[in-house]
Chains A and B, each alone.
Chain A
Amino acid sequence: MNASEILTACCKDSLLLSTFALRHETEQNGISEAVIRNRFDRMLTVMETSAAEARQNPVRSVSGLTGGDAFLYEQYRSASLLGETVSLAVACALSCSEINASMGKIVACPTAGSCGIVPAAVLAVSSSKGLDREKQINALLCAGLVGQIIGEHACLAGAQGGCQAECGSASAMAAAAVVELLGGSPEQSFDAAAIAIKNSLGLVCDPVAGLVEIPCIKRNVGGVVNALSAADLALAGIHSRIPFDDTVDALNRVGRQLPTSLRETAMGGLATTAAGIQLAEQIKQ
């Protein structure tokens, strides 16, 4: 299954990507649309909580290396450069990621390390535009569909494809979701997803001390801002000159070309900087 085939099917029957995703899942796995919606509804509830919790009360990670930033940012947010929607998305992404690092409850989407991007984009845009729950669930279905294509033709794990496979994929999923949320076409969703991947290609997975904290938490912020700007371009009618399926192919090839040291092993990049090594030593004690 690729974007080009999905677009043909959507165009033929005037389907939204979320409708296609629902029908496809029902056909493949025999789960009724009502059950799928119900499960997504539960995921949305967990997302809402994790996107809010660390903004309201500071949390610390298990290692003690990170925490408190979602709270700090929320205090500052009214003065943010970014405006209400984007600053809210940044705050939500920080919150989900900090909740994850503190052994709180999150929805892996597609992974735990990138769990802040899709919820932050969908919740922030819905909040500022006053969109209902059904639309939010549709957006999550659309995000899932984009992730399915990436999972089939590339990969979604940092250990396999670097951070581009985790935060890059999440960013593409979020970008497509926001386009559908705001009434854009399936084609525009894939344009947005393509742009988001193009802006994430080559991103390495280099976690300090091998933990899902530094730089993962802030990469979720980068991921959601990337997603929102990609969605904005697509909604303006700007096309990606490289189609989505080709960007997935590039992501796959770049992932394979990344050395092991930059694929979640903590043997390169930020993990082996002077500060990274020092932080890793610090938590051993």
Chain B
Amino acid sequence: MPVPSLFDIMGPIMIGPSSSHTAGAARLGKMAYKLAGGDIRRVVMYLHGSFAATYRGHGTDKALLAGLLNLNPSDERLRDSFQIAAEKGISYEFIPTDLGENVHPNTVRFVITDSRGETFEIMGSSIGGGQVVVSEIDGMEVNFTGERPIIITAHQDTPGVLSHITTLLFERDINIGDMRVTRSREDKSAHMYIELDSLCGQDLTAAIRCIPGITRVKLLLPIEESDVPGKENP
């Protein structure tokens, strides 16, 4: 391993008992919350591997739900998340399952329903020491770690949509770190995932929304957890 930072060794400040099963789970929940735009009425969590086997004893269930309530991994309200969700009228369910052979042992698939009844699926894994990665968003393979901003779009599969978006990014001097496009042949719909090297504002999403053929845009900014010393900006 390369030389770790002092803050990789000392910290994070977190709610126990496990960095991967509790702190990482809370972080995954928070990413799902952000990806869902904060509008969550119901969530079903499919737990895989070690998450499925030990989720009660590690408080993985409470931590996942706490993240979905926008709580940080260091927030002491983590352990009361069932009650807080009930107060907010958010329903939830945990289903231990098998998500497949090549799936990381600490993986969860969120199926989120928002207030308009639309559903949204996110799969992510806690890969050790509280670090997490989102591997799938609405069936699209991604590799989102919460460190860089991403844009996700749904659009009609027609020529020109991509060049419109890349032009908007170029005009703002924003470099693209990673980009994926997937499409469904049946209904001529497509999804795009763009990871950006630098921050952008909501004006960009507004501009993207105006592009002909775009049906949905989500901007996800880096996950900030000011209570976690190892994670905050210098």
Question: Which residues of A line the B interface, CB within 8 A?
Answer: 1, 21, 24-25, 28-32, 35-36, 39-40, 42-43, 46, 61-63, 65, 99-113, 115, 118, 140-141, 143-145, 147-148, 151-152, 155-157, 159, 173, 209-213, 283
21 contacts between A and B (CB under 8 A): A1-B3, A39-B7, A42-B13, A43-B229, A46-B13, A62-B59, A63-B57, A103-B22, A104-B16, A106-B14, A106-B15, A108-B19, A112-B23, A144-B6, A144-B10, A148-B3, A148-B8, A210-B57, A211-B54, A212-B17, A212-B58
Contacts of B23 in A (CB 8 A): 108, 112
Given A28-B3, A152-B4, verify A62-B234 contact (CB < 8 Å): no
Given A31-B234, A143-B10, verify A42-B229 contact (CB < 8 Å): yes
What band does the interface of chain B fall in when counting residues whose beta carbon is under 8 Å from A? 35 or more
B53 interfacial by beta-carbon distance below 8 Å: yes
Contacts of B3 in A (CB 8 A): 1, 28, 148, 151-152
A144 to chain B, nearest CB (A): 4
Q: Mark B174-191, 1 if CB is under 8 A from A, else 0.
A: 000000000000000000
Q: How far is the CA of A28 from the CA of B6 in the complex (A)?
A: 10
Q: How far is the CA of A161 from the CA of B130 in the complex (A)?
A: 18
B49 to chain A, nearest CB (A): 11
Given A43-B11, A147-B10, A211-B58, verify A100-B16 contact (CB < 8 Å): yes
Contacts of B22 in A (CB 8 A): 103, 112
Q: Counting chain B CB atoms within 10 Å of each CB, which of A102, A105, A141, A209 scores highest?
A: A105
Given contacts A108-B11, A112-B18, A209-B54, 18 further A-B contacts (CB under 8 A): A1-B3, A29-B5, A46-B13, A62-B58, A63-B56, A103-B15, A103-B22, A105-B15, A112-B19, A115-B16, A143-B10, A148-B3, A148-B9, A152-B1, A173-B9, A210-B53, A211-B58, A212-B16
Contacts of A152 in B (CB 8 A): 1-4
Tell which of B9, B12, B50 touches A156, judged by Cβ atoms closer than 8 Å. B9
B129 interfacial by beta-carbon distance below 8 Å: yes
Tell which of B50, B74, B76, B128 touches A157, judged by Cβ atoms closer than 8 Å. B128
A59 to chain B, nearest CB (A): 11
Contacting pair A151 B4 (CB below 8 A):
yes
Contacts of B15 in A (CB 8 A): 103-106
Contacts of A213 in B (CB 8 A): 17, 57
Contacts of B48 in A (CB 8 A): none
B71 interfacial by beta-carbon distance below 8 Å: no
A54 to chain B, nearest CB (A): 12
Contacting pair B129 A157 (CB below 8 A):
yes
Closest 7 CB pairs of A and B: A100-B16, A147-B9, A63-B57, A39-B229, A103-B79, A212-B17, A151-B4
